[in-house]
Each structure stands twice: as C-alpha cells, then as structure tokens.
Amino acid sequence: MIKRGVTNLSSVDFESGETILIDKPLNWTSFKVIHSIRKVINVKKVGHAGTLDPKATGLLIVCTGKRTKEINKYQDLPKVYTGTITLGKRTSTMDSEGEVIEEKEVRDISEETLLQTRELFIGEIDQIPPMHSAVNYGGKKLYQLARKGRTVVREPRKITVYSFRITKIQLPEIQFEIECSKGTYIRVIAEDFGNKIGCGAYLSELRRTKIGIYSVEDALEPRDFSNLYKN
C-alpha cells in the first residue's frame, strides 16, 4: 500500500496492482484525482473506492491495475467524516457549492435541542438521495437531470449512522464527527437536521478522515505522490 512515509516508488508495479491512500484537496473532483494519478504512472486502469464531492476533502482510496477488482471491498467499509453544519440557510445542493435558496433567523436554539435532534439520526434510518448525486435514474445520473432543472421522485435508502458527535457549537455553525455506512450522504443529514430544528441548514465543510482501518493521516496529497514518483 502506498501511503505517507513511502520514499521510493521506483520498484512499484502499478500495472499489476497497487492501493494508494490519497488526501483529496478542496475543489478537486474525485475524477481529477484519478486523472492526475493515471497521468503520472501511465496506467489505464485506475479507480477510486468512493466519491468525494468537490467541496469535500480527505481520504480517497485509489486502486490501480489488477487491484481495481478489490474496489468494492473498500467501498463496503464504514466511513468517518468531520465537518461543519451551518444553520439558517438551505442551498440548492445542500452544501457550499450551491446557491442559497432559503434563509431563516437562527435564535433561541439550545444545546439540549441540538443534542436531542442529533439522536434522531443515529441508527438505521431512511435517507433520500439528493438530486445532485451520481445515483442512476432511468439510465442517467441524478446530477445530470438536476443540471437541466429537473427533479424526480427518489426512493429512500436504508443507511446506518453508527455515531454522531457534536464536537463544537458556535451558532449558526455546528462542528461534528459522524461514522456511517456506505451510501450515506452527509449533506442530506445536514439539511434534514436543520429542517427538524425548523431553521434549515447546509453542509458548509466536510472531510473524510477514515475508511475502515485506513486513515487520512496516512494519506498523500496528489502533488506529493507525483513528486515521489518522479524522484
């Protein structure tokens, strides 16, 4: 496995297969990460085990060559995210990438209310995928329909939130750490959280810190990986 601390990639056979821990930068798409690695190592088969939105940062597990057959193994692992929910505003994408579509005043929200609301999102819950997502609908991605201004009825999916900790409260912002199953949309939790309180909310910051036993602390930034390979 290629991760932080590796000093030499000259003997690595990426065509036969390797796993790389990458720390995805802000405003990069997951595809851009894959494209940059493919360009560096000159191997066609490169894939990742779970998309991160452009406004999210953090751990992306990348597989190359024959190791791409193991992507599902990593996708099925639980994930840990940290981030910030901003109360009082809703956006078109449920995160900071979209336009503000609703604003409400945030006041008289106690810590007790926030903690009680958090409890509603722990355990197995039904979650409706957002329109701005890569979920398939009628042969197209939902985000493709959303870009054309279309909204379609989506079936709820079962997801599991193993833990939901509120780590800091500085209204209108709430910092959190969530451990959840695959297929969980944290921005949906953010908006639903705000709706339960009655003021709306959006996901203003997100970072994936763990996938199973793998940690972002061990991950390389794309630029670091490129420099290691060239050296």
Tell me which residues are annotated as active site.
Answer: 53
DSSP letter (8 states) at residue 199? S
User: Do residues 142 and 130 lie in contact, with contact meaning Cβ atoms separated by under 8 Å?
Assistant: yes
Position 163: which residue type?
S
Crossing angle, helix 186-197 and helix 111-119, to 10 degrees?
130
Cβ–Cβ under 8 Å, residues 59 and 210: yes
CA 108 to chain centre: 31
Exposure b/e, 71-80, CB count within 10 A at least 16 = b = beebbebebb
How far apart, in whole angstroms, are the C-alpha atoms of residue 61 and residue 24? 10
Phi, psi of 89 (to 5 degrees): -140, 145
Which phi and psi (to 5°) does residue 226 adopt? -60, -45
Cα dihedral: 203, 209, 211, 213 (round 10): -150
> What is residue 59's DSSP assignment?
E
